[in-house]
Amino acid sequence: MPVTRRTVVASGIAATGMVTLAACAAEVEPEPVETTPPSATVDEAPQELAGEILLGSTSDVMVGSGTKFMVDESLTILVTQPKEGVFRAFSAKCTHAGCIVTGIRDDEIACGCHGARFNPDSGEPVAGPAKSPLGKIQLEVRGSDLYALI
């Protein structure tokens, strides 16, 4: 899919949660991989972040786990790899009361505030007080790079 809008690329360091934004005019055709469906959206992303954000590398997300990438103070993205080569991205903000989810526990996305659990493949709530799924974020894998499209 060609990129026709302004492209913003952020370089991320997952371990520290730091993301640096930089402009980039290059258009790269994504490789066909299974990612979050294109219809997925997240509504709390600030308008100034609209575009492509380089979150990090596929090697930052182990199979069966998840890694949080702090884009800015208002948006943290959780990328999961529920099966080898299948990556999903969600807003890390719990839909119960807004805590940032802890990560993957016992094959589920866990929120430490009140015990909500979510499916790491779909983001749907599976236990606890949350009744709505985590906000999905469109994700593209290009080579070993993880791009959020917001």
Interface residues with ligand FES (CB under 6 A)?
94, 96-99, 111, 113-116, 128-130
Of 46 and 115, nearer to ligand FES (C-beta) is 115
Question: What is the closest distance, in whole angstroms, from the C-beta atom of residue 64 to ligand FES in the complex?
Answer: 21
Compute φ and ψ for 62, nearest 5 degrees: -75, 155
- Catalogue the E-assigned strands of 1-150: 8-13, 18-23, 52-57, 66-72, 75-83, 86-91, 103-105, 108-110, 117-118, 125-127, 138-142, 145-149
Of 118 and 147, nearer to ligand FES (C-beta) is 118
Question: What is the closest distance, in whole angstroms, from the C-beta atom of residue 101 to ligand FES in the complex?
Answer: 7
Of 49 and 99, nearer to ligand FES (C-beta) is 99
Rounded distance, CA 140 to CA 126, Å?
26
Question: What is the closest distance, in whole angstroms, from the C-beta atom of residue 76 to ligand FES in the complex?
Answer: 13
